[in-house]
Amino acid sequence: MTKMNKKGVNELVSEVLGIVLGAVILVLILFPLAWGMYNLFTKPGVDEQAKATFEQIVAEISGLREGESSEYLVVNPEGWSLMSAGSILYMCDVKDFSFEELDKQENIIRACKEQNNLYHNFDFNLELIDSSTLGSCFHFQAGNKCVALDELPLNLVFIKEDGVVKITSPSQVKSDEMFEDFLDFKGSFSKSVRALVRDYAEDYDSSRFELYKITKEYFFGEEEEAAKITKILDEYFGQLDVEGDLRISVEDFDWKFTLSRYSSDFESYGDILLKSSDSKWILSTIPGTFSSNVYEFEVGGNKYKVTLDYYDVGDIDG
């Protein structure tokens, strides 16, 4: 047997190393391409993700009986929205909608339906309650009609009561319970917050008939009722356990109370009474809302709305 000299061994080793190195480089080059091709053909796209999520949500809602509730964790698609119109639930991505499509809510609904046909008509009405005032529901703030899927994963809660299904979040459920306590709060008054805002609305309507008399008496009634509301708001928030109930430090907590009246001329609500923990919030746009609740009522055939917003200022500043 012929022995290989040292030079031949070195050359063989070099060739083997060259082949191995080349193979490694080739793998490094081809692997990302192969992985991309794999994802292209095996990983569902955003539309497929949206369809799967929507079908699961519809199944959860359809399975509810009166008085029951369920939860579903949404993991995709991020940045989309759930919207409702009566008994119809829609799901779409509003980011590419035109200004005309975002101009009115009926236009948004129409564009949402046409975008991907993700909609379902139930035999009961829906209420979509989202505490966020920004994100993909920014153009949809008439209340009870939109839930933004902006920060996922998001745990949705479905509740069927009085033949209506509410779609909301666990934090909003807690906020709803606190809001009912707020509306029923009396403090040192014989009337609750709910009753006092109705008194203000009645006084506001009666004062409108004196519009052309521009006297001190014209404003007196409203100011008197407003003073009562201011006092009961101070009493309520003075006794509220902010850190225990809302998990917000006292230093970072702010709130804003708004009473609005519906105008048929402009087909929207206009603010007629604003109160807050800090006057600067009245004069500026809040960049985010920790929680928001709405109470709607009618007085003398006119529609009114109470909105109570909580803010975590520390989270906003951060």
Helix axis angle for 216-239 and 193-208, nearest 10°, is 160
User: What distance, in Å, lies between the first and last C-alpha atoms of the chain?
Assistant: 78
pLDDT tens per residue, range 125-138 = 998 876 554 456 76
- Do 204 and 136 belong to one domain? no
* pLDDT top residue among 90 and 293: 90
196 with 306: CB under 8 angstroms?
A: no
Q: Would strands 125-128 and 164-168 be described as parallel, antiparallel, or unpaired? A: parallel
List the strands of the sheet with 291-299, edge to edge: 268-276, 253-263, 302-312, 291-299
Q: Which among 249, 243, 241 has a CA at the least distance from the CA of 318?
A: 249
Angle at 242 between CA 256 and CA 157, to 5 degrees: 80
Residue 281: is its pLDDT beyond 60?
no
Cα–Cα distance between 305 and 74 in angstroms, integer? 31
DSSP β-ladder status, 69-74 and 154-161:
antiparallel
Question: Do 161 and 142 touch, CB atoms closer than 8 A?
Answer: no
Q: Is the peptide bond preceding residue 32 cis, with omega within 30 degrees of 0?
A: no
Q: Which of 151, 168, 185 is the last residue of a domain?
A: 168
* Cα gap 297→262, rounded to integer Å: 10
Query: Hey, what are 49's tokens?
Result: 């993700």
The residue from 168, 201, 217 where one domain ends is 168
The stretch 162-185 carries a mean pLDDT of 88
- The residue behind tokens 């799967």 is 52
Query: In this predicted model, what pLDDT tens digit does every residue of 47-73 receive, in sequence order?
Result: 899 999 999 999 999 999 999 999 999
The model's pTM: 0.59
**pLDDT tens across 101-158, in order?**
776 777 888 888 888 889 999 999 998 876 554 456 765 544 457 888 887 888 999 9
Q: Write down which residue in 168, 201, 219 finishes a domain.
A: 168
Count the domains in the chain. 2
Query: Residue 90: which domain range?
Result: 46-168
